[in-house]
Structure 1
Amino acid sequence: MLGVIRMRRIPGNEWKMLIPFLSAEREFNVFMIGDIENTPPEAEHMEIFVEGELENPAGVLLRYYRFFIVYSSERMDHAGAAKIIKDFEKAIVLSGKADCIDAIAPHLREITKEEATMHLALLKEPNLEENDLPIRRATMSDAGELLALLNSIEEFRATEEESFLSSLESGTSRRYIVEMDGRIVSTAASTAESSDMAMIIGVATHKDYRKRGLASKVVSKLCSDLLNWGRTPCLFYDNPEAGKIYNRLGFREIGKWKILYFR
């Protein structure tokens, strides 16, 4: 009987060797592929752990700042992967395809505060709204106000400031905003942009400016630009009302995504 193959940390110059494997289910691996394509191999804020051969691993675990993502098969040593997360001690989130999270979750119960299931949707039949708002791309000068807006939204968890500021400054997160009455009132962003896909995140509207269709306009503008750049947008949602909006814009559910929030 073969012994357990332990996960190993691979050097940055090997990260891109995983892309063919991850591309088999690229919609579920947008974060991993985008992070690999956009992060310098010498970066300290990202690590990748692999079990097995790079061409067909039993599992992949990626850390980006304090966020972890897992993509695994039944062959993966889930207890070993969980130990890496626990030993890091600063992890705030683990996310992944629902069945991958279901497999590792029992090994993380002692540090898990909450589990959430999300709908993963892909823009398959674009029906985007025409833009008639002064939408612009956010800059570093908007960072403080944007963080305050995002952290004021009840449905959102607190935004991890270090990764937010880094992605805004580097441009790896493309964030659009709407301003009214001298303040930012609505926003949406793309992240993990790969050569052909992008994840829509952080769709938010100030509570005093809701029911005006602002989020639909910002998301439509962002999606239109992404499509023009050759990238297909996808996103997660758990709110049925948000789901109706995204469905109207042409997003279609392709699967489930799960998130573990840690204490």
Structure 2
Amino acid sequence: MIRKLLQADHQAVTEFLSEEPSINLFIIGDIEAFGYDTEFQELWGEFSVDARLKAVLLRYHNSFIPYAKEDFDVEGFAGIIKLLSKEPVLSGKSAIVEQFEKVEGIQLGKKQQTHFAECRNGKFLGTSSQSIQKAGIGDVDRIINLRQTIEEFTVNENARLMLRQALETGTGRTYFLEYDGALAACASTAAENSVSAMIVGVCTHKEHRQKGLATAVMQRLFKDVLEEGKTLCLFYDNPAAGRIYKRLGFQDIGKWTMYR
């Protein structure tokens, strides 16, 4: 049976999602921030005959994230998605969301698959003598300007607003390092919640690469987040970047697929 999830279901939902806090970072964070029934956010759950929660589907605006640990009603969730959006953005653990490719009538966008990795402790982090600073609202423009110089990045037109909101709400933080007075490297978290945080926006100005600056920033950022008892997670599709993250203690835990 599939039904809308309510605040009364919160304990069961939290226990269900928290077994994989990294994979469920977005769902957990959105529930903590916006609850179970707003104009732009809704959640559904599939329950077994003995009332055990089997699967969850999140709608956040036009984006949908399903999660399950076993076989689930793909057609049932797809019916909800089709009813609410003609061109949904669908994302999630690859083994889960790729099942929707076989559903007739659902309009999925371009498929993008990345590696998904997590870090639960800082024993491989090491330390750096570099002077790392934590960003405030006054640093937003400089951070976005640096990101815009990175060829591999696509900087959203709302990037400044989103970064500012993350800093103001505590759902994200950014650390940076200056070199000769200019912003040289930075790294951020996003979608932070009580149990996990996503690493995003790791970059170094092209004039300051191969100096270990981004690694130094990540070491400080990772240490601070881990000391709060949170799990770090990130996406990557660049093998060279993957090797750097693994040296810092990240381990692959699966693949993440997005259709948009």
- What residue number does 1:138 align with? 135
Classify the secondary structure of the residue corresponding to 1:219: helix
2:67 is matched with 71
Q: Deviations along 1:130-150, whole A, 9 cap, x unmatched?
A: 232232222222223333433
Of residues 2, 15, 29, the one that matches 1:20 is 15
Cα drift, residue 218 of structure 1: 1.1
Q: Residue 123 of structure 1 contacts residue 252 of structure 1 at CA under 8 Å; is this kept in 2? A: no
Give a deviation string over 1:18-50, Cα, whole Å, max 9, x none.
Answer: 111112333322332233334456765543232
Distance across 2 between alignment mates of 1:258 and 1:105:
15
Residue of structure 1 in register with 2:244 after alignment: 245
CA distance in structure 1 between the aligned counterparts of 2:9 and 2:163, rounded to whole angstroms:
26
Is 1:234–2:233 an aligned residue pair? Answer: yes
Kindly provide the amino acid, as one letter, of the partner of residue 91 in structure 2.
S
Tell me the residue number matched to 1:186. Answer: 185
Q: Deviations over 1:39-70 (max 9, x none)?
A: 45676554323233797333212234554322
Runs (5+) with no aligned partner, structure 2: none
Counterpart Cα distance in 2 of 1:77 and 1:158: 36
Indicate how the Cα distance of structure 1 residues 155 and 60 shifts in structure 2: closer, same or farther if over 3 A, else same: farther
CA RMSD of aligned residues (A): 3.1
TM-score, normalised on structure 2?
0.80
Alpha-carbon shift at residue 181 of structure 1 (Å):
4.3
Matched, 1:35 2:40: no
* Structure 1 unmatched ranges of 5 or more: none
Higher helix proportion (structure 1 or 2): 1
TM-score for both structures, normalised by structure 1: 0.79
Which amino acid is the alignment partner of residue 25 of structure 1? E
- C-alpha separation in 1, matches of 2:79 and 2:164: 29
- The percent of aligned pairs where both chains have the same amino acid is 36
Distance 1:73 1:128, change over 3 A: closer
